[in-house]
Structures are given as structure tokens and as C-alpha cells.
């Protein structure tokens, strides 16, 4: 199991999606941000691909999504958010065969390699 998958499992338990395990944490109802960050990143990657296909997002839609990602990034913590983002980007690429960052088909511009195709 990857570190991200393990973290998601722990987060799911703590966030109450598994009620029997969440009971001891009932006094802390604050939702955990990792699944929300993954979802927001996916929406961003998909928006980028749509843009390449000529379906431009409304500026306020893009701005709202980026603001949400920044907020969730801080909530998760930048070091872990970077790990989450990298795994989500690779998962998106494996599923869609499009670069998560620029939407180009058939290539993954890996930030860890200075944007060179992986």
C-alpha cells in the first residue's frame, strides 16, 4: 500500500466515514483535508485538459479552484501536500494519458524532472 493510500485510509476513518472507528474522535468534527485536496487537484487537471480542448473555464471558476487548492494545501501541510499532489498527478496521467499540468495528450511533464517528459 502506498503512503498516500494509507493516509487516505486513516483520514477516512478519522473523518467519520467509518462510524465505528470515528466515535472516539466525535468531539473533533473538523473534516480532514486530504480527500478534498485530491478532489480539487483532479478538478484542476481536468480543467487544464478542457482548456486545451478549447473549453475555456470562466476566470472566476479557475480562480475559485486555485484558491481552494491553496487553502487545502496549507491545511494538509506543504510537505505532505506535495506528496499527495505528485501521486494524484501520476494517477491522473495513468488514467487519462494527459499531462496533468498542461493537458497535452500522451505526455507527463514531470515537475520533479524540471518539466521534462517522464
Binding residues (CB under 5 A) for Zn ion: these are 99, 101-102, 104, 109
Handedness of CA 99, 35, 5, 2 (dihedral sign): positive
Instruction: Please identify, using beta-carbon distances, which residue of 35 and 103 lies nearer to Zn ion.
Output: 103
For Zn ion, the closer of residues 51 and 104 by Cβ is 104
Instruction: Report yes or no: 72 and 37 within 8 Å, Cβ to Cβ.
Output: yes
Write the DSSP symbol of residue 109.
E
In the complex, minimum distance from the CB of residue 101 to Zn ion, in angstroms, rounded to a whole number: 5
Nearer to Zn ion, 90 or 101 (CB): 101
In sign, the C-alpha dihedral spanning 7, 49, 70, 78 is positive
User: What's the min distance (Å) between Cβ of 102 and Zn ion?
Assistant: 3
Q: Which is nearer to Zn ion, 86 or 109 (CB)?
A: 109
What minimum distance in Å lies between the beta carbon of 88 and Zn ion? Answer: 15
The distance of closest approach from Cβ of residue 48 to Zn ion in the complex, given in angstroms and rounded to an integer, is: 8
Cα–Cα–Cα angle for 40, 44, 47, rounded to 5 degrees: 135
Specify the DSSP class assigned to residue 99: -
Amino acid at each position: 500500500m502506498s503512503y498516500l493510500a494509507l493516509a487516505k485510509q486513516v483520514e477516512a476513518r478519522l473523518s467519520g466515514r467509518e462510524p465505528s472507528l470515528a466515535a472516539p474522535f466525535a468531539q473533533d468534527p473538523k473534516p480532514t483535508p486530504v480527500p478534498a485536496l485530491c478532489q480539487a487537484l483532479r478538478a484542476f487537471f481536468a480543467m487544464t485538459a478542457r482548456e486545451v480542448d478549447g473549453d475555456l473555464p470562466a476566470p472566476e471558476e479557475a480562480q475559485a479552484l486555485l484558491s481552494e487548492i491553496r487553502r487545502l494545501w496549507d491545511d494538509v501541510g506543504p510537505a505532505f501536500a506535495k506528496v499527495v499532489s505528485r501521486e494524484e498527478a501520476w494517477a491522473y496521467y495513468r488514467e487519462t494519458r494527459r499531462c496533468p499540468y498542461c493537458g497535452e495528450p500522451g505526455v507527463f511533464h514531470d515537475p520533479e524532472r524540471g518539466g521534462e517528459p517522464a
